[in-house]
Chains A and B, each alone.
Chain A
Amino acid sequence: ETGVTQSPTHLIKTRGQQVTLRCSSQSGHNTVSWYQQALGQGPQFIFQYYREEENGRGNFPPRFSGLQFPNYSSELNVNALELDDSALYLCASSLENARGSYEQYFGPGTRLTVT
């Protein structure tokens, strides 16, 4: 069973640029959640995708957007990067069905540095 994978591992971008981060969910999972973890802080919920639709969003501006593909993998896109976007971006996959939501499994994260 393959766990959650994320790419790239590290990324350096310049303020104003755009970035795309990728996540492959664990086998059998249909939901992907994205979190931003600033240095020394806990992860903050960005949004969640279920069946290719956004299914919940945290307090992040519209320049944070995402996609989920038919194979349940996902992308996080951030436009007009700001210095404060520098953080570890975590992807988590889980299973949701009629019985409810199940445990989230986290990937190792992508470290984004904005200069």
Chain B
Amino acid sequence: GDSVTQMEGPVTLSEEAFLTINCTYTATGYPSLFWYVQYPGEGLQLLLKATKADDKGSNKGFEATYRKETTSFHLEKGSVQVSDSAVYFCALRVTGGGNKLTFGTGTQLKVEL
């Protein structure tokens, strides 16, 4: 079946540090890949997406590149801010599988001054 594996958290960084959150996947078909962010007490917000191999999704300084050869979609940001503190979820959706999203377990990011 389809699955997503994320690095465990919490990840604690100082402001302006470089962020990487690893994500790898297993899919029965050709997936689209997503990163969602969940701020405390809120629902999920789409952060970025990529729909085919070698695509790079980007938003708000965050980037992730769809690597089919390594089945990975790692999230990166060059300089994190305190306001980036949240839980980040990697997810996939398989073409022909309806609109079902398969999520990883989430990685909590804490950014300190």
Contacts and interface: CB of A to CB of B under 8 A. Distances in A.
Interface of A: 4, 31, 33, 35, 40-45, 48, 55-56, 58, 90, 92, 94, 96, 101, 103-109
Interface in B43-86: 43-46, 49
Contacts of B102: 45
A90 B44 CA distance: 9
A101 B99 contact: yes
Contact of A43 (B41, B42, B49, B89): B89
A93 B104 CA distance: 20
Contacts of A44: 103
Contacts of A33: 99-101
Contact of B100 (A4, A40, A58): A58
Contact of A48 (B36, B98, B105): B98
Contacts of A42: 4, 89, 91, 103-106
B99 A41 contact: no
5 contacts: A35-B101, A58-B100, A101-B93, A106-B44, A106-B45
A108 B43 contact: yes
B46 A103 contact: yes
Nearest to A42: B103
Contacts of A31: 99
